[in-house]
Amino acid sequence: MDDDFEDLLGGREALVQDSSQESPTTAAAGLDFCESEEEEVLDDGHTLADTAVDYGLAMAVEVEMDQTRRLRKKTPQRGKDKRPNPRFTHSTPEIGAHAALRHFTPGSSDTTASAEPPASSALGKIEAVFEQIADDMLDGEREIGLSLDIRPRLLPKGRHPDGTTPPERKTRRLGFPGKTAEEAWRFTVVLRILELMHEALRTGVTISKRDMYYRDPALFGSQSHVDRYVDDIAYTFNVPRSALNVTAVAKGLVVGAMSICRRDGSVVHTGADREGILMPTLRDVLSVNLSAVKWIMVVEKEASFRSIAASSFWDRLSTEGVLITGKGYPDIATRAVLRYLCMPSPHNGFASPPSYALMDYDPDGLAIMSVYKYGSAALAHESADLRVPQLKWLGLRSEHMLLGGDGTHTSQGLLTLTARDRSKARKMLEREASAEDGDDSDEAESRRPLQVMLMLNIKAELQLLDAVPGCMTGLLERELHGCTD
Amino acid sequence: MSKQYLQTHTLPNAHPTDIFSLAVTPSQLLSASGSSSIRIHSTKGQIIHADTPDEHPYPLVQTLEKVHPLGCHHICTSLDGRTAASAGFSGELKIWRCSEAGQWSPAGEIVPEEKKAGEHWPLALSENGQYLACTTHDGRINVYDTRAIAAEGTAAPKFTQYETKGSFGMSVDISANGSMTASGHQNGSIYIFNNSTARLAHSLAGLIKPVRSVKFSPACKYLAAAGDARIIALYDTQSGKQIANLTGHGSWIMSLDWNWSGEYLLSGGYDGKAKIWSLERRECVATQTESEKCLWSVLWLPKAASARNETFVTAGAGRTLAFYREASGT
């Protein structure tokens, strides 16, 4: 492990000289944005030709690195027992240099054609980590581990003086079983994230940090841990996050059997791209064609949206349905579009397709559905124009909790309500009780999901359905068929 | 040899929403649900003309209207049938007393100081209704003296408090002789406390998953515990040793109840199945499937001296009170 990074750094020093000769703009850009975490800025001032040249260099460096690694492999391993972390003694390069290196590995999706070498190298780096761990285990080492570079945190963006005071590039070693339980956990988290990245790179899909979190919420504990380690790993590998096929989440997506006619005369068919398109702004929309749409399904999370849109049964469903996600608590645009689609008007051909909500089984899932359905408390004054009262609760419901059988994956998907969940549920119950001070049976109906959740003291993420093959398909076909017939 | 139970009566839509909890006295059945009212049915009614709709064996005798505005999740009664306690979703806890004529009236209320859901979750009353035990979201067991709870009591003094390791307390029971308190927790731990010394007597291992019900046998010799592990574990309350595992439920076990003699154990599952287990043979002797809807609560009705066969009642997400009686002739 350590050797890899040393070589990376060594290669980088050579690289910065080359690059400044070849393309002064590159080096300048690299210095300007040396502290930036955003990969978008890396494209600034670049022509395709530049990138092509850069690629050649990056490849060459890769090869060189491989050779040095092979040559030097033995030396540090011998010294390992005495000096467990040789990295600290190694000289660190200018920070501008590694930022410049990022130019040679642009993995952003707009350059997909040429993104193959850096992506595979990211894959290679992950596999190198795995191999190292596997080797250590085979060699019977008492502890396995991996190293992460610590991102410099204190320097504000773009205010770094031209490389005169380079911050030390610090490394942290995470061992397993490690000295403390926390270290073992951190090691597990990093390893799991690497595994998910590896899966994403190998299958060529893009995974969001949110999705990563929901793949194993019990392990990660909170989204911020995932965010932090994803960025740490990208920093350690010296690649932009997108080169690891990891993205942050943007708002509002739609995919399905409808077409949108914009005011500028263009027509967009939302089923054209399985990835979905970003939610259009209603201001730009002249009308929508919903003639083929039999139902609209609102999905709480992008992860589930993608997993449905990428599944084989979506081939059948995509001709008759529309899938929408607001990615958590929806923004106004998403809610406005949903209402626009569901409420008969001249703009949508007087269609009123039934709409269904597929949410997590937790207080937030129910709250999100209620935002779509009745509006949010924060924007109560605008709610009348945004709500979709006929929205029906498709899942997850308490009766779906045992769908996955007794497998370990299922029991991992079921979580205990936290104190925050319980108090949120109770506040929601109180709000319902005060809002509907009338018909007793109606009131009881809307409270039931919350009460049952509190009684069971259990919540579940939509990913529960992904854990068991065919589970999501079964649920959707059962529920939607009941409605389309 | 399996036993046969027949459904003798049902009260459909006994509540407008899920019936979460049941409790019995020698002559009445109390039910609590997601709606704000507690309903009380007499178990001493007689069938005169089975066809006449308003004459049936379990007439509704009293409704405590709008007593738990957010719904009521647990209700319990003392063995003597004179005291009841109910806990609502907003965290309030109410004490009820029964008059000679069988009419219930409020006898005190505890409002939690911290407004946290789950401050009081399950409840259990001692034999004469003097002590009320309830577990909390942070794993404590609070014991109150019901006589000290004033009508509008806000600062009800805790009689005693048992500390556990902080896992959500999902079930609690007080033994019939009043000597022990047991609690079952989210993380699968089960504790037995000695009430006279106020000390932990046994910490019982065995169930890793949430324990949704713990019940002492009538003679206080055994403790039965069950939950998401889908097995019923039997423990000896003196030694703390696990003496049996009853397997057969295909789903989470939501509630347990011993019959009066301690020979049979009744269990209700999340999948709507109720099972009767023979303690002697340590196996399931009967299974009743009413629907696929969760049975939140199952309970034996106290055996009347004149009745030859025992009756039990089930309730849950189906909103129905269903009564079963052992078939005669076996």
Query: Which tens digit of pLDDT belongs to each residue from A30-69?
Result: 333 333 333 333 333 333 333 333 333 333 334 344 444 4
Q: Are A59 and A52 in contact (CB under 8 A)?
A: no
How far is CA A464 from its chain centroid? Answer: 17
Task: Give B91's contacts in chain A (Cβ within 8 Å).
Answer: 426
8 Å CB contact of A402 and B69: no
pLDDT of B277: 95
Listed range (A108-122, A324-338, B118-132, B203-217) with the worst mean pLDDT: A108-122
A429 contact B CB<8A: yes
| CB B25 within 8 Å of CB B83 | no
pTM for this structure? 0.67
Output the pLDDT for position A335: 85
Q: What is the mean pLDDT of residues A348-377?
A: 88
A461-479: pLDDT as tens digits: 887 777 777 777 778 877 7
**Token pair of A472 as six digits:** 């999501």
Domains of chain A: 119-151+170-244 (1.10.10.10), 253-434+441-482 (3.40.1360.10)
B74 shares contact with chain A (CB less than 8 Å): no
Of residues B173 and A478, more confidently modeled: B173
CA dihedral B235, B241, B245, B250 (to 10 degrees): 70
Write out the two tokens for A115: 């993104």
Nearest Cα of chain A lies from the Cα of B145 at a distance, in angstroms, of 26
Distance from CA of A329 to the nearest CA of B (A): 24
Please give the Cα distance from A107 to A105 (Å, whole number).
6
Q: Which residues contact B65 (CB under 8 A, 6 or more apart)?
A: B36, B37
Determine whether the interchain pair A419/B294 forms a contact, defined as Cβ–Cβ distance below 8 Å: no
Residue A426 sits at the chain B interface (C-beta within 8 Å): yes
pLDDT value of position A430:
85
DSSP-assigned beta bridge partners for residue B171: B184
What the block records as the tokens of B13 is 């839509």
pLDDT band at A431 (very low <50, low <70, confident <90, very high): confident
Contacts of A405 (CB under 8 A, 6+ apart): A468
A69 burial type by CB count under 10 A (0-12 exposed, 13-18 middle, 19+ buried): middle
Does A433 contact B70 at a Cβ distance shorter than 8 Å?
Answer: yes
Q: Could you tell me which residues come within 8 angstroms of residue A293 by beta carbon, excluding any fewer than 6 positions away?
A: A256, A257, A258, A320, A321, A322, A341, A351, A353
Task: Answer for the pair A480, A295: CB distance below 8 angstroms, yes or no.
Answer: yes
- Look at residue A31 in the predicted model and tell me its pLDDT: 36
Lowest mean pLDDT among A88-97, A170-179, B199-208, B293-302: A88-97
Nearest CB to A451: which of B34, B116, B292? B34
Active-site hit among A214, A340, A356, A372: A214
DSSP state letter for A92:
P
Name the nearest CA neighbour of B104 among B46, B159, B27, B20.
Answer: B27
| Closest approach of A437 to chain B, Cα-based (Å) | 10
Whether B278 contacts chain A with CB within 8 A: no
Checking if the pLDDT of B330 tops 60, the result is: no
- pLDDT tier at A320, thresholds 50, 70, 90: confident
| B135, pLDDT greater than 80 | yes
Return all residues near A318 (Cβ < 8 A) that are at least 6 apart.
A255, A256, A257, A271, A309
Q: CB of A361 within 8 A of CB of A397?
A: yes
Question: To the nearest 10°, the Cα dihedral for A368, A371, A374, A377?
Answer: 130
pLDDT in tens, A203-245: 877 787 778 888 888 899 888 888 888 888 888 888 877 678 8
Query: Does pLDDT of A164 surpass 60?
Result: no
Tell me what pLDDT residue B55 has: 56
The encoded tokens of residue A64 equal 């060189």
Helix (H, G, I), strand (E, B) or coil at A3: helix
Nearest CA among B224, B226, B220, B246 for reference residue B234: B224
| Strand A295-299 to A355-358 pairing | parallel
Across the interface, whether the CB atoms of B117 and A425 are under 8 A apart is answered: yes
Q: Is the dihedral of CA A171, A177, A181, A187 positive or negative?
A: positive
Question: CB–CB of A450/A363 below 8 Å?
Answer: yes
**pLDDT given at position B84:** 93
> Helix axis angle, A302-309 relative to A471-484, nearest 10°?
80
pLDDT bin (cut points 50, 70, 90) of residue B47 is low
Q: Which residues between 241 and 260 in chain B have a beta carbon less than 8 angstroms from any beta carbon of chain A?
A: 251-252
CATH topology of domain B5-326: Methylamine Dehydrogenase; Chain H (2.130.10)
Provide the pLDDT for residue B259.
92
Contacts with A279 (C-beta within 8 Å, 6 or more apart), sequence order = A251, A252, A253, A254, A324, A326, A333, A334, A337
Cα gap A332→B64, rounded to integer Å: 44
Considering chain B, what is the average pLDDT of its residues? 86
Contacts A406 to B, Cβ<8 Å: 230
pLDDT of A281 strictly over 50: yes
- Chain A residues in contact with B294 (beta carbon < 8 A): 398
Interchain contact, B317 vs A422, CB within 8 Å: no
> What is residue B160's predicted lDDT score, i.e. its pLDDT?
82
| pLDDT at position A404 | 57
Q: Is A55 a catalytic residue?
A: no
Q: What pLDDT, on the 0 to 100 scale, is given for residue A97?
A: 39
Q: How far apart are the first and last CA of chain B?
A: 10
Residue B269 has which token pair? Answer: 């599952």
Q: What pLDDT is stored for residue A379 in this prediction?
A: 58
SS3 B14: coil
Nearest CA-CA partner of A356 in A292, A297, A408: A297
